[in-house]
Each structure stands twice: as structure tokens, then as C-alpha cells.
């Protein structure tokens, strides 16, 4: 059957229009990223200097000062959260992947998903009640624990997926050679899944690095240096919040600079996540 | 191969963190990564935050004792102090008998500084201070006066070309000591306000739009022609907002500033002697600015950590004496000498 000329034109038009429309949608998806980046660079770069990176905040209304303590505090608490959540998350993930058919495992999986969906402010308030009140002090520890609550389900679920994706032949080969189950897990399955697990961990780190809500009522913030676990600690996200809503011009500028630092760290973590996945696929191919 | 890559990446991350820490530590001697032996944590009132931070900076330079104050709001300050998670709380409203019942530990509270609230407005082309009486102010916030060229406003401001513009009331959307002081004032001067709305850190406003924090209200007023709101004086001045002269209890129209605020706190002395929590709104005296309030600090009477408590006492002694000068530089109202003495007495009760 031959299409009429008009019909053919119409179909061509539809094709072009849909292509253009989806293309525009794709641009719209990317646009916010570029707008945010450009905006942050334009506004933040002016105030991003050595003083900002290396000195303590000044009192409100005074010009100058920086966020060195907040930058270190953020790394400190995210590092703490990583130490707490990595063993638990990977352990739980392995359990779910290897012995995940039991009723208990279903419950665990469901709970992990629930925890994943809990708003971070709720986690902050819960940790306040669990740790801050009994310890009678806001603390870096409470901040780290709150962040780890966000990371644990993310790491557990990615680990599960990654361990499950390891081909069974690898396990059979290892067991066939006489290795114990534990040895097989440790030396064969986990290394094979490592790339994917690292991706998950990096994404979890990138997520919590920018979280302000769970730290508001756990780490509280600090105008000074602190490296003790049991004292309040400064951190970038809450400092940005604090500075951005202040009435001082100079603090607004510093909030932009802090946001730029934050986005750079998050971007680096995302890129590391990307690179490690690419290596994984290359290896599997 | 893959393993090595991952290890390299993780060590790069660790190195980054270490570099940052070392970088900060090696920077000039004054900003080394060291935490003082004594670090005192306080939280609460956002109004007192700039002053507390200035005190804390100066005091750390003088003594090496670090006072870490975080602005979480007056309500939050009382709550966290009650839970015992902070060493001291600060609030623009004193803890009432009602609230005190839920406290499990004995504590003292006393004013450390005072402040005035400005009635700010945005009328295009009008930069002079309008005169407002308590009755007119209450009716504006009750929604009964709806236009800027209402005869009752015009009558108070002869010679001012008031525009035919709707009045937009801007109030705080969050619980705040600023709101408490303002509604306490309106309740004092207007029976109708007291019955219909009352006083509180957050009330159900008859009219208007909300803004979060002093900065939120400031922003709204700046953007909306016809808007009127209440903010701490320092916010009004920093943002070049026009504010009104309010008729005080003696019938005079006065502007908020350090002197008229101080006059009001002095007039409040007699009341404070009976109850240190008394408010300073609508005080007598020709020069008293009527919307004036104190910032209170709460301290444990029998603190667990004696060393920390001793340092904290020294800090507040310093703040009440030397610190008052800094207060007026930052747009706060320094306490009158009699009030300072009362506060010092209260502070002495801390064992």
C-alpha cells in the first residue's frame, strides 16, 4: 500500500516534532545542573580564597573569616559515618544476597527500604533523642551516627544487588577447588562485586556530604575548632543554611563559596563512582 | 588491577582530608586546629546571636575560653536547656512559672542585654518616620485599618502625602521571642487585641502574610509596597528600612534607639525587682520607647561540671560589665546599671 504524499509529510513532521520535543526535554534535564554550576561558580569563586579555606568564622557583621572548621567537620563526620556504615552495610548486603530467601531477610530488605525513604530530618530528630539527650551534649558522634543511618540502607541494598550479580560459576569454581564458603565470599565474590559496591558507597557519601537536616540537631555547629567526638562540630551544609539566611552581605558571599566547595566535593565523589563502574564493566566484558 | 584502582581512589580521598587538616594546622599560629580545654555550648535566641558571637570572639581572645553559641530560636533554646543538651540557653522571653514546672533541675535566669523592635514599612516615596499611636497600630494588625490613607493615620501625620495603598501586614511565621514582645505590647495597649489574639511566641494572626525570622520579615517588607512589619532594630537599620515613631505611655512619639530603649529598661527596674522576668513594654517616661524587651540567659543552679560552670560565670560577669559597651555598638540596648546589678546577683546564685 502506498502512502499518500500528505500522509507521508505528516509522519515526517511527527517524527521531527517528537525528536525535537524529547531533545528539548533532555536539555531541560541537563539545564538545572549547568545553571546551578554556573551560578555557584560565578557567585562563589570571588569569595573562595585561602582565607576562606583556612580560617575560622568571624562574628556576624564583621568582614572576612572562613569556614575551615566546617570543611574539616564535614569530612570528619562523613568519615565517621563511613566507618560505621561500611561494615554494617556490606555485611547486611552479603546476607541479603546469599541467604535472602528467608522471611527474616524479606523483613530486613523491607526495613532497609523504609529506612531509605525516611526523611533525613526525621533521622536527625531521632538521633537527637537517642544520643544527644542521653549524652547531654550535641556531638560530632551524634552527627556521624545520623549520617550513617542514611548510608547503611543505601550501601546494604547496592551490595546486595552487586553480590547477586556475581555469576554463580565463580562461586562453584571456588567451592570446587576446596575453598570454604567464607573464603569464597571474601576472596572471590566480594572482589568481583567491589566496583559496584564502591559506586554505591561513593553515591551514599555524595548524598550525605550535602545533608544539613540530620546535622542540625545532632552536630549543632561550632564557631571554633573541635576534633573531639563528644562536642558540637561545625559542618558545611548547616553553615551554608546559617549564613544564607543572615542579613549580612559578606556572609551571603561566604555561603556561595561554601556551596561551591560542597558541590565540588559532591561532583568529585560522583565522578569517582562513575569511573569505578566503568572499570567494573570493562572487567566483566 | 581493579582492586588497586579502588585502593588508589580511597587513599586519594584520605589524603585529601589529611591535606586539608594539615593545611589548616600549618596556617598562621592563630588558627591552628586545637580545641580549648573548656568549650561552653549555648543556644537559643536568634536576636542575640550577633552580640553573643562578638562576645565569644572577644572573650576567646582575652581568656582562651571558647563559648560556642548557636542561634536556634528562643523556643529551641528553652527546650534544649530543659533537656540539658546545652550549657546555657538564651531567650527573648523569660521562662514562665508554667514552663518552669516541667524543668527537672533548678536554674537561674536573668537579662543580659535589651533590644528595641522597629515598626518598619514600605511606602514608595515616603522616607520620613510616620507617627503611630498604640490604638492605630493595634487596629492595623487587627485588620481594621486597611488603607494607608485611612483618616486615622493621616490625622497623626499632617503634611505627609499618604498613598491610597492597601496595608499588607507582615508577621513572623515561626515561633519567636520578637513576636512575643510585640504581641505582649499589643496586648498591653489594646483590650481587643488581648481578647482576640493575645500574647505568645506564635499567635493566630487576624491578617497578613508570614516571613521566617527577622530576615524573612525584612525581606517581605522590602519587596511589598504597602507592607508593614515588626523587626529588631538592627535588622531595620542594616537594611535601610523606614520605621515609625510610636506613641509611648507618656503620650510622646519616640523612635527606637539605644537611648529610648535604655530609658525603658531603667523604667522597668521597679518591676524587675519584684520579678526579674517582667517585661519592659509600654514603660512610663517621656523618652521610653514602648516596644522594648530583654534577652534572658538560663543557667543551671547546681551544675554538674564545676570547672565549666566557673568559667561560664566568669564569662557572663564579663558580658554584663565590659560586654555592654559592645552591645550598643551593634544596635542593642545596654542594660541600665541597676539591671546589671540584679543580673549579677542572680548569677551569684550559681554554685
Q: Express each pLDDT in B182-241 by its tens digit.
A: 999 999 999 999 999 999 988 999 999 998 888 889 889 999 999 999 999 988 888 889
Nearest to B84 among A60, A128, A136 (CB): A136
ipTM above 0.85, yes or no: no
Nearest to A224 among B35, B49, B54 (CB): B35
Take residue A20 and report the three cell numbers written for it. 525535537
Nearest to B2 among A75, A246, A279 (CB): A279
| Least Cα separation, residue B85 to chain A (angstroms) | 4
Q: Give the integer Cα–Cα distance in Å for B152 and B138.
A: 12
Reported as a pLDDT band with limits 50, 70 and 90, residue B81 is very high
Q: Does A272 touch chain B (CB under 8 A)?
A: yes
| Least Cα separation, residue A8 to chain B (angstroms) | 53
- B88-91 and B131-132 as β-strands: parallel, antiparallel, unpaired? unpaired
Reported as a pLDDT band with limits 50, 70 and 90, residue B36 is low
Reported as a pLDDT band with limits 50, 70 and 90, residue B282 is very high
Tally of CA atoms within 13 A in the half-sphere of A145 that contains its CB: 19
Nearest to A194 among B6, B49, B213 (CB): B6
pLDDT at A59: 83
Query: Across the interface, do A138 and B85 touch by the CB < 8 Å criterion?
Result: yes
Query: Across the interface, do B57 and A59 touch by the CB < 8 Å criterion?
Result: yes
Nearest to B53 among A138, A223, A245 (CB): A223
Q: Does A79 touch chain B (CB under 8 A)?
A: yes
Which residues in chain A come in under a pLDDT of 50?
A: 285
pLDDT 10s digits, B257-268: 989 999 999 999
Query: Across the interface, do B17 and A75 touch by the CB < 8 Å criterion?
Result: yes
Q: Residue A123 burial (CB < 10 Å; 0-12/13-18/19+)?
A: buried
Q: Give the integer Cα–Cα distance in Å for B278 and B269.
A: 9
Q: Which residues of A touch B214 (CB under 8 A)?
A: 247
Q: Give the integer Cα–Cα distance in Å for B172 and B149.
A: 25
Strand boundaries in B227-291, DSSP class E = 227-232, 242-243, 245-247, 253-254
Q: Which residues of A touch B21 (CB under 8 A)?
A: 72
Take residue B337 and report the three cell numbers written for it. 546599671
Q: Is the pTM of this model over 0.95?
A: no
Nearest CA in chain B to A226: B35
CB atoms inside a 10 Å sphere around CB B34: 11
pLDDT 10s digits, B102-158: 999 999 999 999 999 999 999 998 999 999 999 999 999 999 999 999 999 999 999
Residue B21 has pLDDT above 60, yes or no: no
Q: Note which residues in 26-55 of chain A have CB less than 8 A from chain B.
A: 53-55
- Which residues are bridge partners to B69 per DSSP? B42
Reported as a pLDDT band with limits 50, 70 and 90, residue B29 is very low
Domains and CATH numbers, chain A: 50-284 (1.10.3720.10)
> How many A/B residue pairs have CB atoms within 8 Å?
116
Q: Does A174 touch chain B (CB under 8 A)?
A: no
Nearest to B175 by CA among B92, B64, B278, B254: B92
Query: Across the interface, do A58 and B35 touch by the CB < 8 Å criterion?
Result: no
Query: Across the interface, do B70 and A136 touch by the CB < 8 Å criterion?
Result: no
Query: Across the interface, do A61 and B50 touch by the CB < 8 Å criterion?
Result: yes
Query: Across the interface, do A71 and B20 touch by the CB < 8 Å criterion?
Result: yes
pLDDT at B143: 95
Dihedral pair phi/psi, residue B293, rounded to 5°: -145, 165
Q: Does A247 touch chain B (CB under 8 A)?
A: yes
Query: Across the interface, do A226 and B35 touch by the CB < 8 Å criterion?
Result: yes
Q: Are A217 and A130 in contact (CB under 8 A)?
A: no
Mutate to test the interface with B, among A64, A191, A221, A223 (most CBs of B within 10 A): A223
What is each CA distance from A225 to A67, A222, B30, B35, in whole angstroms? 10, 7, 12, 5
Q: Note which residues in 186-245 of chain A have CB less than 8 A from chain B.
A: 191, 194-195, 198, 220-228, 231-232, 242, 245
Nearest to A276 among B1, B6, B215 (CB): B6
Residues 6+ apart with CB under 8 A from A88: A148, A152, A155, A156
Amino acid at each position: 500500500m502506498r502512502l499518500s504524499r500528505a500522509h507521508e509529510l505528516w509522519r515526517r513532521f511527527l517524527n521531527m516534532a517528537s525528536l525535537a520535543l524529547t531533545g528539548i526535554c533532555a536539555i531541560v534535564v541537563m539545564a538545572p545542573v549547568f545553571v546551578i554550576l554556573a551560578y555557584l561558580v560565578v557567585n562563589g569563586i570571588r569569595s573562595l580564597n585561602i582565607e576562606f579555606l583556612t580560617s575560622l568564622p568571624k562574628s556576624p557583621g564583621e568582614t572576612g573569616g572562613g569556614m575551615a572548621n566546617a570543611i574539616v567537620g564535614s569530612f570528619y563526620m562523613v568519615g565517621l559515618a563511613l566507618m560505621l556504615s561500611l561494615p554494617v552495610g556490606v555485611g547486611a548486603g552479603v546476607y541479603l544476597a546469599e541467604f535472602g530467601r528467608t522471611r527474616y531477610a524479606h523483613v530486613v530488605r523491607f526495613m532497609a527500604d523504609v529506612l531509605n525513604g525516611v526523611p533525613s530530618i526525621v533521622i536527625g530528630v531521632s538521633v537527637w533523642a537517642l544520643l544527644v539527650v542521653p549524652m547531654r551534649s550535641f556531638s560530632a558522634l551524634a552527627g556521624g551516627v545520623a549520617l550513617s543511618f542514611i548510608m547503611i540502607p543505601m550501601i546494604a541494598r547496592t551490595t546486595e544487588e552487586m553480590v547477586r550479580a556475581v555469576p554463580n560459576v565463580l562461586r562453584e569454581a571456588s567451592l570446587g577447588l576446596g575453598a570454604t564458603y567464607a573464603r569464597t565470599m571474601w576472596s572471590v565474590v566480594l572482589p568481583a562485586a567491589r566496583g559496584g559496591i564502591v559506586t554505591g558507597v561513593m553515591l551514599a557519601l555524595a548524598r550525605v556530604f550535602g545533608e544539613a537536616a540530620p546535622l542540625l540537631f545532632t552536630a549543632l555547629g561550632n564557631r571554633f575548632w573541635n576534633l573531639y567526638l563528644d562536642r558540637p562540630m561545625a559542618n558545611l551544609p548547616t553553615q551554608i543554611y546559617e549564613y544564607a539566611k543572615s542579613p549580612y552581605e559578606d556572609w551571603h558571599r561566604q555561603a556561595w563559596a561554601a556551596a561551591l566547595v560542597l558541590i565540588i566535593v559532591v561532583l568529585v565523589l560522583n565522578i569517582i563512582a562513575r569511573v569505578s563502574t566503568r572499570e567494573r564493566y570493562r572487567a566483566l566484558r | 588491577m581493579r582492586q588497586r584502582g579502588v585502593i588508589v581512589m580511597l587513599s586519594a580521598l584520605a589524603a585529601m582530608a589529611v591535606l586539608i587538616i594539615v593545611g589548616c594546622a600549618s596556617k598562621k599560629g592563630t588558627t591552628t586546629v586545637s580545641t580549648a580545654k573548656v568549650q561552653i555550648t549555648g543556644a537559643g535566641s536568634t536576636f542575640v546571636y550577633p552580640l553573643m558571637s562578638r562576645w565569644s570572639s572577644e572573650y576567646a581572645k582575652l581568656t582562651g575560653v571558647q563559648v560556642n553559641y548557636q542561634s536556634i530560636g528562643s523556643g529551641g533554646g528553652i527546650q534544649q536547656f530543659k533537656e540539658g543538651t546545652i550549657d546555657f540557653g538564651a531567650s527573648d522571653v523569660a521562662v514562665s512559672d508554667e514552663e518552669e514546672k516541667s524543668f527537672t533541675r533548678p536554674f537561674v535566669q536573668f537579662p543580659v542585654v535589651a533590644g528595641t523592635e522597629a515598626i518598619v514599612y514600605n511606602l514608595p516615596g515616603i522616607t520620613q518616620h510616620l507617627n503611630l499611636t498604640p490604638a492605630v497600630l493595634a487596629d492595623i494588625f487587627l485588620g481594621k485599618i486597611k488603607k494607608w490613607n485611612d483618616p486615622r493615620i493621616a490625622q497623626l501625620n499632617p503634611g505627609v502625602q499618604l498613598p491610597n495603598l492597601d496595608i499588607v501586614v507582615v508577621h513572623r511565621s515561626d515561633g519567636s521571642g520578637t513576636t512575643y514582645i510585640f504581641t505582649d505590647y499589643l496586648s498591653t495597649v489594646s483590650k481587643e487585641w488581648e481578647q482576640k489574639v493575645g500574647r505568645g511566641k506564635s499567635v493566630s494572626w487576624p491578617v497578613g502574610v508570614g516571613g521566617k525570622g527577622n530576615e524573612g520579615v525584612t525581606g517581605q517588607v522590602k519587596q511589598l509596597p504597602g507592607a508593614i512589619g515588626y523587626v529588631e532594630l538592627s535588622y531595620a537599620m542594616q537594611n535601610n528600612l523606614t520605621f515609625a515613631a510610636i506613641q509611648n505611655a507618656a503620650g510622646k512619639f519616640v523612635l527606637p534607639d539605644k537611648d529610648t530603649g535604655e530609658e525603658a529598661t531603667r523604667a522597668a527596674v521597679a518591676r524587675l525587682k519584684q520579678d526579674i522576668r517582667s517585661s519592659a513594654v509600654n514603660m512610663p517616661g517621656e523618652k521610653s520607647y514602648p516596644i522594648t524587651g530583654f534577652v534572658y540567659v538560663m543557667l543551671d543552679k547546681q551544675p554538674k561540671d564545676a570547672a565549666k560552670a566557673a568559667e561560664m560565670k566568669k564569662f557572663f560577669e564579663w558580658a554584663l560589665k565590659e560586654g555592654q559597651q559592645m552591645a550598643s555598638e551593634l544596635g542593642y540596648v545596654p542594660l541600665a546599671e541597676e539591671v546589671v546589678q540584679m543580673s549579677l546577683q542572680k548569677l551569684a546564685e550559681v554554685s
